[in-house]
Amino acid sequence: MSAENIIEVRIFEPNTSVLAELREFVISTGRLVGLAEETLRNIALAVDEAATNVIRHVASQHPCLIGCTCETNSNHSEVTYEISWDDTKPFNPSIPEKEVISQRIGTFTPGGLGIFLMHHLVDDIAFDYNNGKCVVKLIKRV
Amino acid sequence: MSAENIIEVRIFEPNTSVLAELREFVISTGRLVGLAEETLRNIALAVDEAATNVIRHVASQHPCLIGCTCETNSNHSEVTYEISWDDTKPFNPSIPEKEVISQRIGTFTPGGLGIFLMHHLVDDIAFDYNNGKCVVKLIKRV
Amino acid sequence: MATTPSQFTAVETASPRADLSVIALSGQLDAHTAPEFERFLEQEVRNENKHKLILDFSALEYISSAGLGVLMGFIEEVRSDGGDMKFACVPEKIYHVLDLLGFPVVFTIAPTVDEAAVAFTN
Amino acid sequence: MATTPSQFTAVETASPRADLSVIALSGQLDAHTAPEFERFLEQEVRNENKHKLILDFSALEYISSAGLGVLMGFIEEVRSDGGDMKFACVPEKIYHVLDLLGFPVVFTIAPTVDEAAVAFTN
Ligand SMILES: Nc1ncnc2c1ncn2[C@@H]1O[C@H](COP(=O)(O)OP(=O)(O)O)[C@@H](O)[C@H]1O
Ligand SMILES: Nc1ncnc2c1ncn2[C@@H]1O[C@H](COP(=O)(O)OP(=O)(O)O)[C@@H](O)[C@H]1O
């Protein structure tokens, strides 16, 4: 269950010029642990969405840095990417229903796509808050 | 014409938690050079709008800091607040017409209010770009 | 030097009529506090389905376009539900900003909460 | 270590019909490059009044919700002017993302630019 082997950690400035590097970080660490190419692409997009949200909704309000950690659990059955950032309050959004997203797309109402995508691109998603750090965990079973 | 006496300069982190301090900076320096209370409020709002734009539209794309300078010209007939930031390209927006703003408000379309307000809250506004620094000059005649 | 960031609160207060919600704004409504105000209105309008709102501006010290943008984001929604957002007790310095932008053409601005309530005819 | 930020370009290319504009997208369309794409579409749609657009995705390597948000922001506008935005040559990996979100229900997605052109009946 718990992710125990840290493969790599990297810290990013909270602006969109780092997104390309962040996706490359996911792809290179994911290759290291043997994820398939399609899985790599899905996780890179999910991590991009999580970081973009921090850049847009958190860093514009408070100074913060974004951490990204790649970990596997002891029997290597799960790979977890953790995106963490400094925040004054927990972040634990509800995942929009497919119907809500269809309706938003149908009425051309932006917003909500990122969290929906994150949820559907990985096997499991979890939100956590500890000592002023918010964490989104994106979990892929292998 | 040219603003020659620098009253005070301050550097701000590009996030909205600094906006209260930025407005206080304008009000305290403006009082020092003898601006009326209503004028102080107008310039503080114009400076807030300029900085909010940098936080929202620039800092989310590239790392940058925001400088704010209060200057007077040699015969003290003008007070200028300069908001400057690191950027890779000049920023020189067109000022929206009153009719455009009325139409946006009437159709509840956000956007464009900040630059319109800045323009109408001071006597003169100028945009400049030098060595990777964008500058908005907000000029008040006294 | 660490100045406190902008402070803002929005709370529901006593309403003169059961079908109306009165929301008292206080403090500074700028780009720092606008997301908080947006979440408050989302709760009122989308979750609690309130759409006849009177905004009491008497204790509001400051507003920038970021705060006004939040209001613009909800007006269409409340009106399409047969409601409205009316402004009451707007201090002179705030009115000046609303007026520059032409808000009085689109939003009813009443001197008191009771007069704003009367403006809700149905 | 300084990796290059995401690169993206949008350019008008040869169109099969005079009333249609074909826009070739290439590179990575994420939150870094989305503002650039938005300015490009503003120029096309608002300044040059083009509203029958075919977006050629063949050289697009990556898209995130920030890029999709830009497209959603213009579709209503071009349709209300009697136009549309149709997608052509969408690579499998990009289609996967569009499909997850339900874009194929709202946007025509054609295999080639010519087939997208045929889908513009009027
Ligand atoms: N890290 C975060 N911290 C605080 N709020 C967030 C964060 N991420 C997302 N949000 C909130 O959740 C909403 C939905 O996010 P998302 O699905 O990514 O869509 P979008 O960012 O396009 O609106 C955002 O509009 C924002 O209000
Ligand atoms: N400092 C800036 N650098 C780049 N673009 C900017 C800047 N300030 C404003 N803009 C652009 O100008 C537009 C209008 O700005 P503004 O009138 O403040 O309204 P808003 O920020 O609410 O959209 C913005 O949406 C943004 O695209």
* 3 state SS for chain C: CCCCCCCEEEEEECCCCCCCEEEEEEEEECCCCHHHHHHHHHHHHHHCCCCEEEEEEEEEEEECHHHHHHHHHHHHHHHHCCCEEEEECCCHHHHHHHHHHCHHHHCCEECCHHHHHHHCCC
**Which of A16, A47, A48, A53 has the most ligand 1 atoms within 8 A of CB, as the residue to mutate?**
A53
By CA distance, what is D94's nearest residue in A?
Answer: A41
The nearest CA of chain A is from the CA of B38 a distance in Å of 28
Buried/exposed D84-93: b ≥16 CB within 10 Å, e otherwise: bbbbbbbeeb
Dihedral sign from CA coordinates of C103, C104, C108, C114: positive
Contact with chain B for residue A57, Cβ under 8 A? no
The position carrying tokens 């406190």 is C4
Chains with 3+ CB–CB pairs under 8 A to A are B, C, D
Alpha-carbon distance of B91 to B62, in angstroms, equals 15
Return the DSSP state at B18: G
Asked if residue B105 has pLDDT above 90, the reply is no
By CA distance, what is D34's nearest residue in B?
Answer: B61
Start-to-end Cα distance in chain D: 52
For C59, other C-beta atoms within 10 Å of its C-beta total 12
Look at residue A3 in the predicted model and tell me its pLDDT.
46
Contact with chain B for residue C108, Cβ under 8 A? no
- CB of B100 shorter than 6 A to ligand 2: no
Which ligand approaches the C-alpha of residue B56 most closely?
2
Q: What percent of chain A has pLDDT over 70?
A: 98
CB D19 within 8 A of CB D52: yes
DSSP codes, B49-81:
HHHHHIIIIITTTS---EEEEEEEETTS-EEEE
Which ligand approaches the C-alpha of residue A53 most closely?
1
Asked if residue A11 has pLDDT above 60, the reply is yes
The nearest CA of chain A is from the CA of D16 a distance in Å of 28
Instruction: Give the ipTM.
Output: 0.87
Q: Give the mean pLDDT of chain B.
A: 93
**Could you tell me which residues are beta bridge partners of residue C11?**
C24
For A74, other C-beta atoms within 10 Å of its C-beta total 11
pLDDT tens profile D74-90: 998 899 999 999 999 99
Look at residue C2 in the predicted model and tell me its pLDDT.
54
Q: How many whole angstroms from its chain centre is CA A1? A: 19
Ligand 1 centroid – CA A74 distance (Å): 32
Overall residue count recorded for chain B in this entry: 142
In this prediction, residue A99 has a pLDDT band, given cuts at 50, 70 and 90, of confident
Look at residue A138 in the predicted model and tell me its pLDDT.
98
Label residue C41 exposed, middle or buried (CB < 10 Å: 0-12, 13-18, 19+): buried
CB C53 within 8 A of CB C47: no
If you average pLDDT over residues B126-141, what whole number do you get? 95
Beta-carbon contacts of B140 under 8 Å, excluding residues fewer than 6 positions away, are: B35, B39, B43, B78, B79, B80, B81, B122, B123
Supply the angle between the helices D92-101 and A37-53 in degrees, to the nearest 10. Answer: 50
The nearest CA of chain D is from the CA of A106 a distance in Å of 6
By CA distance, what is B97's nearest residue in C?
Answer: C101
Give contacts of D35 with chain B, Cβ < 8 Å: 57, 61
Look at residue B57 in the predicted model and tell me its pLDDT.
95
In this prediction, residue D1 has a pLDDT band, given cuts at 50, 70 and 90, of very low
Give contacts of A60 with chain C, Cβ < 8 Å: 31
Start-to-end Cα distance in chain B: 13
Which residues have any ligand 1 atom within 6 Å of their CB? A 53-54, 56-58, 91, 93, 110-115; D 65, 69
Q: How many whole angstroms from its chain centre is CA A83? A: 5
Asked if residue B1 has pLDDT above 70, the reply is no
Ligand 1 atom with minimal separation from the D66 CA? 22
Give contacts of A108 with chain D, Cβ < 8 Å: 72-73, 75-76, 106
The position carrying tokens 């996030």 is B15
Alpha-carbon distance of B3 to A130, in angstroms, equals 50
Asked if residue B3 has pLDDT above 50, the reply is no
Chain pair A-B, CB pairs under 8 angstroms:
30
- For residue C71 the two structure tokens come to 């209001």
- CB of B30 shorter than 6 A to ligand 2: no
Which site among B15, B16, B52, B85 would you substitute to test the A interface, given the most A Cβ atoms closer than 10 Å to its Cβ?
Answer: B15
In this prediction, residue C26 has a pLDDT band, given cuts at 50, 70 and 90, of very high
Contact with chain A for residue B62, Cβ under 8 A? yes
Asked if residue A66 has pLDDT above 70, the reply is yes
Give contacts of C84 with chain B, Cβ < 8 Å: none
pLDDT tens profile C38-51: 999 999 998 999 99
Look at residue A139 in the predicted model and tell me its pLDDT.
97
pTM for the whole structure: 0.89
Measured CA to CA in angstroms, residue C58 lies from C25, C75, C87, C112, D54 at distances of 7, 20, 10, 9, 52
Tell me which of C58 and A4 has the higher pLDDT. C58
For D118, other C-beta atoms within 10 Å of its C-beta total 12
By CA distance, what is A113's nearest residue in D?
Answer: D65
